Every structure is written in C-alpha cells, then in structure tokens.
C-alpha cells in the first residue's frame, strides 16, 4: 500500500480510539485497529502525537461531509431533504464534540468554505425556490445553527426533539398556516356590538 494510503487508513482507524480513550490511546491499540504491526506505524509517522494529529486532520476534512450532502436527491420533498441535511450536520457536529472533548480541546465547528456549502444548498433546494421565503444560503445558516446547538453535549440531550421535528420547525416555523388577518383593535372598537352585560346609569360597563 502506498505511504499516503497507509497514513489515511491508520488515521481513520485511530478516530474511534480517540473518542474512547483520548490521548491515552496506545500505539498497540492503534496498530491492532489498523491491522498492521506496531513498528509499521513508525514507518509512516514520527510518533503517537503525529498519528493523533493526522487522525484529527482526516476527520476535519470537509469533502466527505460535502459528498454526503450532495448525495441527497434534490427531487425529494422539502421537509424530508431538510431532515436528511440535519441528520448529516448533527452527525458531523456530534463527532467533532466527541473527538475534541476526548482530546481535551475546546470543540469547534469545522471550517466551511461558504461558497461551496451554499452552492450545495442552491442545488439541493433549486426545486423549492418558489416555496421558500428565504434564499438557500439563509436556510444553510438556520440548519447549521439548529444542528450545532442540538449536538452540544451539555444542551442537546435536554432538547428532546428528533431530526424530523427539527426539520418541521425549520420548514414551517412555529406559526399556524396563514389565515385571514386578525382584526385591528381600532376596527373592533368601531364595529357595533350587542350589549350583553348590565350597564351603569351612565351607560358604561361596570368594573
């Protein structure tokens, strides 16, 4: 196997070990998970820290995440697409929180090239433009915000909302479907109404 492929394979095999053991993971555990001899690790990496750095860099590579978003069929119903997008974002952010928490670093969202990610949303939501009140770039911001907060270990478990419920919230908001506009308070005052309560001698309703 070429050196770069070997490095990538070892880095990928190391990721679950980092979540489970943090920096206490041993090179023997990494070698076993990678299916290689322990000495092989040091033919492609200088030391254990270099393996950990490579594993984190491999994990933060945005391209597999983008490919997962691109794999969603644009012809699907809007709410289902948003649910699938949310699931991928939640997966991404949950993984980042897990890896960085295990390593003792502050979790941070992956770097995003906004032009690429908004381009993906443009293509994905192209069939729904007439139904949207905001552009796809704004939908991306809503999804990212909801997914990031829902993935936070300190906050997410208390939300109690599944991806389908979160998708419904994003697509439909919290208001009921639009109906006749409510009457203005001034209109209600001007309209004659039947008097159903007793009145005082001066014609005013009692307190």
Superfamily of domain 1-60 in CATH is Homeodomain-like (1.10.10.60)
Confidence bin at 99 (pLDDT 50/70/90):
confident
Confidence bin at 1 (pLDDT 50/70/90):
confident
Query: For 142-186, what is each residue's pLDDT tens digit?
Result: 999 999 988 887 776 667 788 899 999 899 988 876 655 545 444
Confidence bin at 74 (pLDDT 50/70/90):
very high
Domain residues of the chain, as ranges? 1-60, 62-174
**Which residue is associated with the tokens 């704004």?**
138
Confidence bin at 10 (pLDDT 50/70/90):
very high
Q: How far is residue 66's CA from residue 188's CA, in Å, rounded to a whole number?
A: 54
Name the average pLDDT for the chain.
83
Confidence bin at 90 (pLDDT 50/70/90):
very high
Query: For 19-60, what is each residue's pLDDT tens digit?
Result: 889 889 999 999 999 999 999 999 999 999 999 999 998 888
Query: For 109-146, what is each residue's pLDDT tens digit?
Result: 556 678 999 999 999 999 999 999 999 999 999 999 99
Burial class (CB in 10 A: 0-12, 13-18, 19+), 143: buried
Whether the per-residue pLDDT at 199 is higher than 60: the answer is no
More confident position, 155 or 83? 83
């Amino acid at each position: 196997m070429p050196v770069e492929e070997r490095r990538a394979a070892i880095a990928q095999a190391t990721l679950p070990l980092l979540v489970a053991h943090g920096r206490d993971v041993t090179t023997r555990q990494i070698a076993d998970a990678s299916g290689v001899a322990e000495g092989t690790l040091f033919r492609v990496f200088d030391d254990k820290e270099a393996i950990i750095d490579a594993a984190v860099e491999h994990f933060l590579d945005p391209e597999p995440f983008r490919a997962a978003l691109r794999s969603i069929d644009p012809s699907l119903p809007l709410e289902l697409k948003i649910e699938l997008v949310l699931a991928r974002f939640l997966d991404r952010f949950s993984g980042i929180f897990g890896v960085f928490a295990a390593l003792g670093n502050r979790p941070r969202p992956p770097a995003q090239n906004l032009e690429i990610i908004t381009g993906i949303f443009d293509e994905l939501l192209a069939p729904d433009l007439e139904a949207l009140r905001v552009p796809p770039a704004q939908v991306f911001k809503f999804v990212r915000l909801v997914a990031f907060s829902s993935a936070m270990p300190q906050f997410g478990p208390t939300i109690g909302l599944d991806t389908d419920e979160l998708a419904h919230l994003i697509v439909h908001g919290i208001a009921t479907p639009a109906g006749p506009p409510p009457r203005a308070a001034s209109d209600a005052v001007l309209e004659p109404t039947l008097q159903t309560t007793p009145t005082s001698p001066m014609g005013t309703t009692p307190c």
